[in-house]
Structure 1
């Protein structure tokens, strides 16, 4: 059905599309659609689409294109960043403004062949918090997904001459968790969940970068949360290096994702359910949208 709707939108202007759309928009909402194609111009099914609000860094829509390369989302009015990612191809990111009552014609996103991006210079890079977001998505038990983020953290990347020996470290203030609901946030900080009084920090320390081709890497490391450490692998897309910012600093960017199982960190959701506590589900999708600033050419000595 979504395919038919988007095809009708192609043949009309924005006003005509709104009239021909059989699925009504919620009051005050707008609709965004895109068509992702591969380097030969063919529809790209299974491409990952992430829509992020530019003001809050919150992921508001996420999914994959259908077999015809189409993706559609109903969104509140605002400005968004849309990222399209597919294995072996260069990620594409663009911005879009959504207005209330508007049905935007599908945006054509062409993914280009992946190329080996020039890696960042060796040295120490520090996360830039205003341009970095640590987000999570969890399914609320019996309800829709819960979107949240951590607002206080620090981290850095030490780029070694051999990228495989590079290191990433992140420390998150566990009490900075926010989902937009004060009651739920207080519960997540309590001894029932993160227990921030006893375990104030969530730490990640990498062990190795593994190259997957194009701009894709796997970042292996150890995540420590709630007093428990587990090995995790982050699917990472390197987005390149640019000069930018107020002081024209050299910056690099990357997007990293992983899935966590709460029981691996002794967060027992079943016992909470037994006591009638409303909690998020047993798996959590974690995403780090990182921008880091170059600070010094010093690099660690790789272990022998």
Structure 2
């Protein structure tokens, strides 16, 4: 079982040498650590580290580096892939082999500035509903996953000259929810869940774009659902720009994902479960597969 983050200790070795690790190992476990630096050799606190089993392809543990750029974990024996990411820097993937009773020397990982991709022209882009999908996946209590989507929505992107200043707005008709089961859909639209009579729309308004390297961004914003607004971050992959469609319009595409917790939006999972009415679990995976059409180059130019 993964123990998560453990402490680290600097040794009194020669200056510039990697520090030794002091890790209390449970029986049968091994450990590894990494020191994450930027291109200037400065520690990167808050970098995201995700450790995935190479055979299972499942996340074994994830976390962030401490203020000194360190991350340490104890793991069962086996081969692992370690992905390290930080905002505006190119991610790095390493592999480690964990052996029972062995604490590996910490790896030094240097994150270089990310290569900026060619972004869409500044201006207004509108979602193309026939080529856009808003999907969700929720765990069916005690059974398989429930897959659903919203069929009515509108949205757009105002791309600024500085992409970080761009804006996204999405409005979803909550009553357009469908999971392929009419009884379940009616229940999800009812007052027990979305309560579409009183809260007919689900709205997202972005606050900023944060570059994560390569084609990755985090889209920060406010999601309003069931009358409650919460800050969320959408993990977004930019898929490029093409000329296509019936009128050969200029189009761009992106895929955005987020995990939502029902209780954050006053959808009390435990209360519903106690009353025997919860048909989906406490978390929902939301996915926006977006294709947008270029409409007008009217994004305001910021003053110098």
Give, in whole Å, the separation in 2 of the partners of 1:133 and 1:139. 20
Aligned twin of 1:167: 167
Q: Which runs of 4+ in 1 moved over 6 A?
A: none
* Shift of residue 66, structure 1, vs aligned partner: 6.0
Partner of residue 182, structure 1: 182
| Structure 1 pair 251–184 and aligned structure 2 pair: CA distance change class (3 A) | same
Gaps of at least 5 residues in structure 2 are 1-50, 59-82, 92-113
Cα distance between partner residues in 2 of 1:251 and 1:170:
17
Q: In the alignment, what sits opposite 1:241?
A: 241
Matched, 1:128 2:115: no
1:30 corresponds to:
none
1:270 aligns with 270
Matched residue, 1:224: 224
User: Does the aligned pair in 1 maintain the 2:269–2:278 contact within 8 Å?
Assistant: no
* Gap runs ≥5 in structure 1: 1-63, 72-85, 90-113
RMSD of the alignment, in Å? Answer: 2.4
Per-residue deviation, 1:137: 0.7
* Rg larger for: 2
Name the counterpart of 2:54: 67
Q: Give the structure with the larger helix fraction.
A: 1
The 5 Å alignment of 1:92-131 reads: 116-131=116-131
- How far residue 271 of structure 1 moved from its aligned partner, in angstroms, is 1.9
Structure 1 residues 155 and 302, CA gap change in structure 2 (3 angstroms): farther
CA contact (8 A) 1:260 1:284 kept: yes
Q: Flag the 1:116–1:264 CA change in 2: closer, same or farther, 3 A.
A: same
Pair 157,303 (structure 1): closer, same or farther in 2 beyond 3 Å:
farther
Shift of 1:68: 5.7
Length-normalised TM-score, structure 1: 0.63
